[in-house]
Structure 1
Protein backbone atom coordinates (compact mmCIF):
# COMPACT_ATOMS: atom_id res chain seq x y z
CA UNK A 1 0.00 0.00 0.00
CA UNK A 2 1.38 3.41 -0.92
CA UNK A 3 2.25 5.95 1.75
CA UNK A 4 -0.11 8.49 0.16
CA UNK A 5 -2.91 5.95 0.41
CA UNK A 6 -2.12 5.29 4.07
CA UNK A 7 -2.15 9.04 4.70
CA UNK A 8 -5.57 9.31 3.05
CA UNK A 9 -7.01 6.65 5.34
CA UNK A 10 -5.46 8.21 8.43
CA UNK A 11 -6.73 11.69 7.60
CA UNK A 12 -10.24 10.39 6.90
CA UNK A 13 -10.29 7.64 9.52
CA UNK A 14 -13.43 8.69 11.39
CA UNK A 15 -15.54 9.08 8.25
CA UNK A 16 -14.28 5.88 6.63
CA UNK A 17 -14.59 3.80 9.80
CA UNK A 18 -18.17 4.93 10.24
CA UNK A 19 -18.97 3.97 6.65
CA UNK A 20 -17.44 0.51 6.98
CA UNK A 21 -19.04 -0.19 10.35
CA UNK A 22 -22.48 0.69 8.96
CA UNK A 23 -22.41 -2.51 6.88
CA UNK A 24 -22.27 -5.92 8.51
CA UNK A 25 -19.53 -8.44 7.83
CA UNK A 26 -22.18 -11.01 6.92
CA UNK A 27 -23.59 -8.72 4.23
CA UNK A 28 -20.21 -7.82 2.78
CA UNK A 29 -18.73 -11.34 2.88
CA UNK A 30 -21.76 -13.57 2.48
CA UNK A 31 -20.57 -14.79 -0.91
CA UNK A 32 -17.68 -16.76 0.60
CA UNK A 33 -18.37 -17.07 4.34
CA UNK A 34 -20.65 -20.10 4.12
CA UNK A 35 -18.24 -22.08 1.97
CA UNK A 36 -15.20 -21.33 4.10
CA UNK A 37 -16.83 -21.64 7.51
CA UNK A 38 -18.48 -24.92 6.52
CA UNK A 39 -14.96 -26.30 6.14
CA UNK A 40 -13.64 -24.75 9.37
CA UNK A 41 -15.75 -22.85 11.88
CA UNK A 42 -12.87 -21.35 13.86
CA UNK A 43 -9.09 -21.31 14.21
CA UNK A 44 -6.36 -18.71 13.72
CA UNK A 45 -7.30 -15.86 11.41
CA UNK A 46 -5.50 -12.81 10.04
CA UNK A 47 -7.27 -9.76 8.62
CA UNK A 48 -4.80 -7.90 6.39
CA UNK A 49 -5.84 -4.30 5.86
CA UNK A 50 -8.29 -4.57 8.73
CA UNK A 51 -9.38 -0.93 8.58
CA UNK A 52 -12.24 -0.31 11.01
CA UNK A 53 -11.85 -3.77 12.54
CA UNK A 54 -15.36 -4.79 11.50
CA UNK A 55 -14.36 -8.10 9.94
CA UNK A 56 -11.72 -8.91 12.55
CA UNK A 57 -14.26 -8.32 15.32
CA UNK A 58 -16.85 -10.51 13.55
CA UNK A 59 -14.33 -13.35 13.29
CA UNK A 60 -13.33 -12.95 16.95
CA UNK A 61 -16.97 -13.00 18.03
CA UNK A 62 -17.35 -16.34 16.24
CA UNK A 63 -14.48 -18.01 18.03
CA UNK A 64 -11.53 -17.19 15.81
CA UNK A 65 -8.21 -16.08 17.32
CA UNK A 66 -7.51 -12.96 15.25
CA UNK A 67 -4.49 -10.90 14.25
CA UNK A 68 -5.44 -7.65 12.51
CA UNK A 69 -2.91 -5.91 10.27
CA UNK A 70 -3.47 -2.21 9.50
CA UNK A 71 -0.85 0.34 8.34
CA UNK A 72 -3.02 3.44 8.88
CA UNK A 73 -2.46 4.72 12.42
CA UNK A 74 -5.74 6.62 12.34
CA UNK A 75 -7.82 3.61 11.34
CA UNK A 76 -5.93 1.30 13.68
CA UNK A 77 -6.24 3.58 16.72
CA UNK A 78 -9.99 4.00 16.25
CA UNK A 79 -10.49 0.25 15.86
CA UNK A 80 -8.36 -0.61 18.88
CA UNK A 81 -10.54 1.55 21.12
CA UNK A 82 -13.44 -0.77 20.36
CA UNK A 83 -11.81 -4.21 20.38
CA UNK A 84 -8.27 -4.11 21.69
CA UNK A 85 -9.02 -6.90 24.17
CA UNK A 86 -10.19 -9.41 21.57
CA UNK A 87 -7.77 -8.82 18.70
CA UNK A 88 -4.00 -8.54 18.36
CA UNK A 89 -3.25 -5.49 16.21
CA UNK A 90 -0.09 -5.21 14.10
CA UNK A 91 1.26 -2.16 12.25
CA UNK A 92 2.32 -3.69 8.93
CA UNK A 93 1.42 -3.70 5.25
CA UNK A 94 1.63 -5.55 1.97
CA UNK A 95 3.46 -6.47 -0.16
CA UNK A 96 6.11 -7.70 2.31
CA UNK A 97 4.28 -8.02 5.64
CA UNK A 98 7.76 -7.71 7.13
CA UNK A 99 6.60 -7.44 10.75
CA UNK A 100 4.00 -10.21 10.60
CA UNK A 101 6.38 -12.57 8.81
CA UNK A 102 8.79 -12.41 11.76
CA UNK A 103 6.12 -13.54 14.22
CA UNK A 104 5.54 -17.25 14.85
CA UNK A 105 1.87 -17.07 13.86
CA UNK A 106 0.59 -19.00 10.85
CA UNK A 107 -3.08 -18.95 9.95
CA UNK A 108 -6.06 -21.12 9.02
CA UNK A 109 -7.74 -18.10 7.40
CA UNK A 110 -6.28 -14.94 5.89
CA UNK A 111 -8.67 -12.22 4.73
CA UNK A 112 -7.49 -9.46 2.37
CA UNK A 113 -10.64 -7.41 1.82
CA UNK A 114 -10.73 -4.32 -0.43
CA UNK A 115 -6.94 -4.04 -0.39
CA UNK A 116 -5.64 -5.54 -3.64
CA UNK A 117 -6.59 -2.50 -5.75
CA UNK A 118 -4.15 -0.42 -3.69
CA UNK A 119 -1.17 -2.59 -4.64
CA UNK A 120 0.87 -1.65 -7.67
CA UNK A 121 0.68 -4.52 -10.18
CA UNK A 122 4.44 -5.07 -10.00
CA UNK A 123 4.22 -5.78 -6.25
CA UNK A 124 1.36 -8.27 -6.32
CA UNK A 125 3.35 -11.43 -6.97
CA UNK A 126 5.54 -10.77 -3.93
CA UNK A 127 2.43 -9.93 -1.89
CA UNK A 128 0.91 -13.28 -2.84
CA UNK A 129 4.10 -15.09 -1.82
CA UNK A 130 4.10 -13.34 1.55
CA UNK A 131 0.46 -14.29 2.15
CA UNK A 132 1.03 -17.86 1.04
CA UNK A 133 3.94 -18.24 3.44
CA UNK A 134 1.65 -17.28 6.32
CA UNK A 135 -1.06 -19.81 5.46
CA UNK A 136 -1.26 -23.19 7.18
CA UNK A 137 -1.83 -26.36 5.13
CA UNK A 138 -5.54 -26.61 4.24
CA UNK A 139 -5.96 -22.98 5.29
CA UNK A 140 -7.94 -20.49 3.20
CA UNK A 141 -6.81 -17.19 1.71
CA UNK A 142 -9.70 -14.87 0.78
CA UNK A 143 -9.00 -11.85 -1.42
CA UNK A 144 -11.79 -9.52 -2.47
CA UNK A 145 -11.25 -7.57 -5.68
CA UNK A 146 -12.91 -4.25 -6.35
CA UNK A 147 -13.94 -3.59 -9.96
CA UNK A 148 -14.92 -0.04 -10.86
CA UNK A 149 -13.90 3.38 -9.59
CA UNK A 150 -13.90 6.99 -10.70
CA UNK A 151 -11.18 9.55 -11.36
CA UNK A 152 -11.52 11.17 -7.94
CA UNK A 153 -11.12 7.85 -6.13
CA UNK A 154 -8.15 6.87 -8.28
CA UNK A 155 -6.44 10.15 -7.43
CA UNK A 156 -7.22 10.20 -3.72
CA UNK A 157 -6.89 6.53 -2.85
CA UNK A 158 -4.41 5.14 -5.36
CA UNK A 159 -6.51 2.50 -7.12
CA UNK A 160 -5.16 0.14 -9.78
CA UNK A 161 -7.10 -2.27 -11.96
CA UNK A 162 -7.42 -5.86 -10.75
CA UNK A 163 -7.89 -9.21 -12.46
CA UNK A 164 -9.09 -12.52 -11.02
CA UNK A 165 -7.19 -14.40 -13.72
CA UNK A 166 -3.93 -12.69 -12.80
CA UNK A 167 -4.64 -13.30 -9.13
CA UNK A 168 -5.14 -17.02 -9.75
CA UNK A 169 -1.92 -17.24 -11.76
CA UNK A 170 0.02 -15.59 -8.93
CA UNK A 171 -1.63 -17.88 -6.38
CA UNK A 172 -0.65 -20.99 -8.34
CA UNK A 173 2.97 -19.82 -8.50
CA UNK A 174 2.85 -19.30 -4.71
CA UNK A 175 1.71 -22.91 -4.23
CA UNK A 176 -1.96 -22.18 -3.61
CA UNK A 177 -4.97 -23.80 -5.29
CA UNK A 178 -8.20 -22.00 -6.26
CA UNK A 179 -11.36 -22.90 -4.33
CA UNK A 180 -13.98 -20.45 -5.63
CA UNK A 181 -14.41 -17.06 -7.24
CA UNK A 182 -17.74 -15.21 -7.04
CA UNK A 183 -18.93 -11.79 -8.19
CA UNK A 184 -21.55 -9.53 -6.63
CA UNK A 185 -22.77 -5.98 -7.12
CA UNK A 186 -22.01 -3.38 -4.51
CA UNK A 187 -25.19 -2.85 -2.49
CA UNK A 188 -24.96 0.97 -2.64
CA UNK A 189 -22.89 1.99 -5.69
CA UNK A 190 -24.02 0.95 -9.16
CA UNK A 191 -20.59 1.43 -10.76
CA UNK A 192 -18.79 -1.00 -8.43
CA UNK A 193 -18.64 -4.80 -8.37
CA UNK A 194 -16.80 -7.10 -5.99
CA UNK A 195 -15.18 -10.43 -6.74
CA UNK A 196 -14.31 -12.80 -3.89
CA UNK A 197 -11.54 -15.28 -4.66
CA UNK A 198 -10.67 -18.08 -2.24
CA UNK A 199 -7.47 -20.14 -2.36
CA UNK A 200 -6.14 -22.94 -0.19
CA UNK A 201 -2.72 -24.38 0.59
CA UNK A 202 -2.81 -28.09 -0.28
CA UNK A 203 -1.35 -30.55 2.23
Structure 2
Protein backbone atom coordinates (compact mmCIF):
# COMPACT_ATOMS: atom_id res chain seq x y z
CA UNK A 1 0.00 0.00 0.00
CA UNK A 2 1.24 3.58 -0.57
CA UNK A 3 2.95 5.50 2.23
CA UNK A 4 0.41 6.77 4.77
CA UNK A 5 1.15 10.42 5.64
CA UNK A 6 0.21 9.98 9.30
CA UNK A 7 2.88 7.31 9.75
CA UNK A 8 5.73 9.73 8.96
CA UNK A 9 8.65 9.28 11.34
CA UNK A 10 7.43 6.00 12.81
CA UNK A 11 9.30 3.47 10.69
CA UNK A 12 12.78 4.75 11.50
CA UNK A 13 11.96 4.98 15.21
CA UNK A 14 9.95 1.76 15.44
CA UNK A 15 12.40 -0.24 17.60
CA UNK A 16 12.74 2.53 20.21
CA UNK A 17 9.02 3.28 20.17
CA UNK A 18 8.13 -0.39 20.50
CA UNK A 19 10.25 -0.63 23.66
CA UNK A 20 8.34 2.36 25.08
CA UNK A 21 4.95 0.94 24.15
CA UNK A 22 5.77 -2.48 25.58
CA UNK A 23 6.93 -0.92 28.89
CA UNK A 24 3.32 -0.28 29.92
CA UNK A 25 0.47 -2.77 30.10
CA UNK A 26 -3.02 -2.88 28.63
CA UNK A 27 -4.38 -2.33 32.15
CA UNK A 28 -2.19 0.73 32.75
CA UNK A 29 -3.15 2.35 29.46
CA UNK A 30 -6.85 1.43 29.42
CA UNK A 31 -7.67 1.02 33.11
CA UNK A 32 -10.54 3.52 33.02
CA UNK A 33 -12.07 2.24 29.79
CA UNK A 34 -11.56 -1.52 30.27
CA UNK A 35 -14.85 -1.93 32.21
CA UNK A 36 -16.63 -0.78 29.02
CA UNK A 37 -14.97 -3.40 26.80
CA UNK A 38 -17.39 -6.16 25.77
CA UNK A 39 -16.45 -9.52 27.31
CA UNK A 40 -14.43 -12.12 25.39
CA UNK A 41 -14.65 -13.79 22.93
CA UNK A 42 -15.78 -10.51 21.32
CA UNK A 43 -14.22 -9.64 17.95
CA UNK A 44 -11.73 -6.75 18.19
CA UNK A 45 -9.91 -4.58 15.63
CA UNK A 46 -6.88 -2.66 16.90
CA UNK A 47 -6.39 0.11 14.31
CA UNK A 48 -2.81 1.36 14.34
CA UNK A 49 -1.73 -1.56 16.51
CA UNK A 50 1.91 -0.49 16.68
CA UNK A 51 3.98 -3.12 18.48
CA UNK A 52 0.88 -5.23 19.15
CA UNK A 53 0.86 -4.69 22.93
CA UNK A 54 -2.90 -4.26 23.23
CA UNK A 55 -3.75 -6.78 20.50
CA UNK A 56 -1.67 -9.53 22.14
CA UNK A 57 -2.97 -8.73 25.64
CA UNK A 58 -6.58 -8.90 24.47
CA UNK A 59 -5.95 -12.12 22.60
CA UNK A 60 -4.52 -13.59 25.82
CA UNK A 61 -7.80 -12.70 27.53
CA UNK A 62 -9.75 -14.70 24.95
CA UNK A 63 -10.69 -12.00 22.42
CA UNK A 64 -10.68 -12.62 18.67
CA UNK A 65 -8.22 -9.91 17.54
CA UNK A 66 -7.23 -8.33 14.24
CA UNK A 67 -4.23 -5.96 14.41
CA UNK A 68 -4.25 -3.32 11.67
CA UNK A 69 -0.91 -1.56 11.19
CA UNK A 70 0.35 0.30 8.09
CA UNK A 71 4.00 0.66 9.19
CA UNK A 72 6.01 -2.35 7.99
CA UNK A 73 8.54 -2.05 10.81
CA UNK A 74 5.85 -2.14 13.51
CA UNK A 75 4.12 -5.15 11.94
CA UNK A 76 7.42 -7.02 11.82
CA UNK A 77 8.19 -6.14 15.46
CA UNK A 78 4.69 -7.06 16.61
CA UNK A 79 4.75 -10.40 14.85
CA UNK A 80 8.17 -11.14 16.36
CA UNK A 81 7.59 -9.90 19.92
CA UNK A 82 4.14 -11.47 20.14
CA UNK A 83 4.82 -14.49 17.95
CA UNK A 84 2.77 -16.78 20.19
CA UNK A 85 -0.32 -14.58 20.24
CA UNK A 86 -3.29 -15.65 18.08
CA UNK A 87 -3.52 -12.24 16.39
CA UNK A 88 -4.17 -11.70 12.66
CA UNK A 89 -2.12 -8.81 11.24
CA UNK A 90 -3.36 -6.66 8.33
CA UNK A 91 -1.50 -3.96 6.41
CA UNK A 92 -4.09 -1.18 6.20
CA UNK A 93 -4.82 2.30 7.58
CA UNK A 94 -7.45 4.86 8.38
CA UNK A 95 -9.45 6.46 6.88
CA UNK A 96 -10.24 3.83 4.19
CA UNK A 97 -9.23 0.63 6.04
CA UNK A 98 -8.94 -1.34 2.80
CA UNK A 99 -9.08 -5.07 3.42
CA UNK A 100 -10.54 -4.79 6.93
CA UNK A 101 -13.79 -6.71 7.25
CA UNK A 102 -16.24 -6.35 10.12
CA UNK A 103 -18.34 -6.59 12.06
CA UNK A 104 -16.38 -5.94 15.24
CA UNK A 105 -17.70 -5.71 18.77
CA UNK A 106 -14.82 -3.42 19.77
CA UNK A 107 -12.51 -1.16 17.78
CA UNK A 108 -9.42 0.39 19.39
CA UNK A 109 -7.91 3.56 17.91
CA UNK A 110 -5.11 4.29 20.36
CA UNK A 111 -2.85 7.26 19.66
CA UNK A 112 -3.85 7.30 15.99
CA UNK A 113 -6.79 9.66 15.41
CA UNK A 114 -4.72 12.87 15.82
CA UNK A 115 -2.61 11.85 12.80
CA UNK A 116 -5.62 12.31 10.50
CA UNK A 117 -6.26 15.58 8.71
CA UNK A 118 -9.61 17.21 9.37
CA UNK A 119 -10.98 16.16 5.97
CA UNK A 120 -9.99 12.54 6.71
CA UNK A 121 -11.60 12.35 10.14
CA UNK A 122 -15.22 12.41 8.95
CA UNK A 123 -14.53 9.65 6.41
CA UNK A 124 -12.69 7.64 9.07
CA UNK A 125 -15.58 7.87 11.53
CA UNK A 126 -18.09 6.70 8.92
CA UNK A 127 -15.82 3.80 8.03
CA UNK A 128 -15.37 2.82 11.68
CA UNK A 129 -19.13 2.93 12.19
CA UNK A 130 -19.65 0.66 9.18
CA UNK A 131 -17.33 -1.95 10.74
CA UNK A 132 -19.08 -2.08 14.12
CA UNK A 133 -21.60 -4.70 15.14
CA UNK A 134 -24.92 -3.51 16.64
CA UNK A 135 -24.07 -1.87 19.99
CA UNK A 136 -20.37 -2.27 19.15
CA UNK A 137 -17.98 0.13 20.83
CA UNK A 138 -14.97 2.18 19.76
CA UNK A 139 -12.24 3.43 22.08
CA UNK A 140 -10.32 6.46 20.80
CA UNK A 141 -7.38 8.06 22.59
CA UNK A 142 -6.10 11.47 21.53
CA UNK A 143 -2.63 12.79 22.29
CA UNK A 144 -2.30 16.48 23.23
CA UNK A 145 0.93 18.41 23.57
CA UNK A 146 4.17 18.99 21.65
CA UNK A 147 4.59 17.18 18.33
CA UNK A 148 7.79 15.11 18.06
CA UNK A 149 10.17 15.92 15.21
CA UNK A 150 9.43 14.19 11.89
CA UNK A 151 5.83 13.39 12.93
CA UNK A 152 2.49 14.67 11.63
CA UNK A 153 -0.09 15.35 14.33
CA UNK A 154 -3.04 17.68 14.79
CA UNK A 155 -4.56 18.97 18.00
CA UNK A 156 -7.97 17.28 17.87
CA UNK A 157 -10.43 18.24 20.63
CA UNK A 158 -12.44 15.45 22.23
CA UNK A 159 -15.61 17.44 21.50
CA UNK A 160 -14.94 17.21 17.75
CA UNK A 161 -14.60 13.42 17.92
CA UNK A 162 -17.84 13.11 19.90
CA UNK A 163 -19.65 15.32 17.38
CA UNK A 164 -18.34 13.31 14.41
CA UNK A 165 -19.33 10.11 16.18
CA UNK A 166 -22.86 11.30 16.84
CA UNK A 167 -23.25 12.27 13.19
CA UNK A 168 -22.13 8.77 12.20
CA UNK A 169 -24.49 7.06 14.65
CA UNK A 170 -22.18 6.63 17.65
CA UNK A 171 -23.16 7.84 21.11
CA UNK A 172 -20.60 8.79 23.79
CA UNK A 173 -20.36 6.54 26.83
CA UNK A 174 -17.22 8.05 28.39
CA UNK A 175 -14.87 11.00 27.93
CA UNK A 176 -11.90 11.33 30.29
CA UNK A 177 -8.68 13.30 30.40
CA UNK A 178 -5.61 11.25 31.30
CA UNK A 179 -1.93 11.84 32.08
CA UNK A 180 0.77 10.43 29.82
CA UNK A 181 1.62 6.92 31.05
CA UNK A 182 5.20 7.32 29.80
CA UNK A 183 5.74 10.58 31.68
CA UNK A 184 6.54 12.74 28.64
CA UNK A 185 6.69 16.46 29.41
CA UNK A 186 3.65 18.44 28.30
CA UNK A 187 1.82 15.38 26.95
CA UNK A 188 -1.71 14.47 28.02
CA UNK A 189 -4.50 12.34 26.59
CA UNK A 190 -8.24 12.23 26.06
CA UNK A 191 -9.91 8.80 26.25
CA UNK A 192 -13.29 8.38 24.60
CA UNK A 193 -15.69 5.43 24.36
CA UNK A 194 -18.47 5.59 21.77
CA UNK A 195 -21.20 3.04 21.12
CA UNK A 196 -23.01 2.23 17.88
CA UNK A 197 -26.59 3.44 18.04
CA UNK A 198 -29.30 0.93 17.18
CA UNK A 199 -31.22 2.13 14.13
- Does the pair score TM above 0.5? yes
Q: Quote how far apart the aligned CAs of 1:86 are.
A: 0.7
Checking the alignment, whether the CA contact within 8 Å between 1:2 and 1:119 is kept in structure 2 is no
Partner residue of 2:197 out of 164, 182, 202: 202
- 1:68 paired with 2:67, answer yes
1:31-76 deviation per Cα after TM superposition (whole angstroms, max 9, x unaligned): 2112x13x53441000000000000011101110000000000000
Residue in 2 that maps onto 1:93: 93
Q: Quote how far apart the aligned CAs of 1:96 are.
A: 0.8
**More helix by proportion, 1 or 2?**
1
Residue in 2 that maps onto 1:15: 16
1:157-191 deviation per Cα after TM superposition (whole angstroms, max 9, x unaligned): 10111111111111011111111101111131241
Checking the alignment, whether the CA contact within 8 Å between 1:176 and 1:202 is kept in structure 2 is yes
C-alpha distance in 1 between matches for 2:4 and 2:185 = 29
C-alpha distance in 2 between matches for 1:57 and 1:198 = 21
1:127-184 deviation per Cα after TM superposition (whole angstroms, max 9, x unaligned): 000111001011110000111114xx1x411011111111111101111111110111
More displaced, 115-124 or 45-54?
A: 115-124
C-alpha distance in 1 between matches for 2:167 and 2:135 = 17
The TM-score with structure 1 as length reference comes to 0.90
For structure 1, the residue ranges without an aligned partner over 5 or more in a row are none
Alignment of 1:1-203 (within 5 A): 3-34=4-35, 36-37=36-37, 39-84=38-83, 85-100=85-100, 103=101, 105-150=102-147, 153=148, 155-187=149-181, 188-203=183-198
The root-mean-square deviation of aligned C-alpha atoms, in Å, is 1.7
Q: Quote how far apart the aligned CAs of 1:111 are.
A: 0.2
Tell me the secondary structure at the aligned position of residue 19 of structure 2: helix
For structure 2, the residue ranges without an aligned partner over 5 or more in a row are none
